[in-house]
Structure 1
Amino acid sequence: MPKGCGIAVLHGDPARNNADVFLRVPAKSTIPMHTHTSAERMVLVSGELELRYEGQKMQVLKPGSYAYGPPKMPHEAYCASTAPCVLFIAFELPVDAFPHVVK
């Protein structure tokens, strides 16, 4: 994760099932390709986020936009706004993130 990212836990324990978090991504920052064990359901709260799942077209999320990430699906993101991007993310399984090396 880029320097300056932060997570605030809204509900649950990130080490257990069904945690909800806010993820703050600094402006003009890239989140490199990675995966999660869990599916993730996201709503962009603020900013503009470019999100791309491997093998799919890039999505541009604006405040209120929803995106679903299947479990173990490689994805990357870029906070394109001049202010930080804030995402609400609901995880079904414990929160994790693993770097994904593109082959």
Structure 2
Amino acid sequence: MRTSLISTAVLALLGSAAASAQSPQPEPALVWTAQDPALQWGPCPDFLPSGCAIAVLHGDPASDNADVFLKLPPDSSIPAHWHTSAERMVLVSGELHVTYDGHDTAVLRPGSYAYGPAKLPHTGRCAKGRACVLFIAFESPVDAIAVEVEEPVE
């Protein structure tokens, strides 16, 4: 009986070791602040205002579930655009006015949360005084598609 208990224990340990060898390693925890000098800020799409920058916080922007910081200069406007993905946003600094088509303008202040459905055109304006830093979580790959504005016919 003692031999069968030891055999059972050894088999359980071997099974546990094999399972842990096959299971992926957990992701490391991370913490970022908008002022972190280790953040790598890159350029925004051309249609966004000069001085705009994006930093990837987590994930791959070409894949699902990426998180980014978007930084806008004070007193700048974001032209009409939409995203393939829904976006979940929290304003970190500044004051941002966001208008989704068919909705009233929302004024975001630090700590404000906003949700934007996929493919819903919207505009934004960073108020004077302080740069706006916005945390955005995308469900699908990160993109921003400018809305073509028709020129008035004279």
TM-score by length of 2: 0.65
SS at match of 1:89: strand
**2:39 equivalent in structure 1:** none
Give the gaps of 5 or more residues in structure 1.
none
Q: 1 or 2 for the larger relative contact order (CA 8 Å, sep ≥6)?
A: 1
Please, which of 24, 38, 50 is the counterpart of residue 3 of structure 1?
50
CA distance in 2, matches of 1:81, 1:63: 15
Percent of residue pairs bearing the same amino acid type = 65
Give the gaps of 5 or more residues in structure 2.
1-47
**2:99 matches 1:99:** no
1:54-65 equivalence runs, <5 A: 54-65=101-112
What one-letter code is carried by the residue in structure 2 that aligns with 1:30?
S
TM-score by length of 1: 0.97
8 Å Cα contact 1:49/1:81 also seen in 2 = no
Please, which of 93, 114, 132 is the counterpart of residue 67 of structure 1?
114
CA distance in 1, matches of 2:79, 2:52: 12
CA distance in 2, matches of 1:84, 1:10: 19
Larger radius of gyration: 2
1:18-97 equivalence runs, <5 A: 18-97=65-144
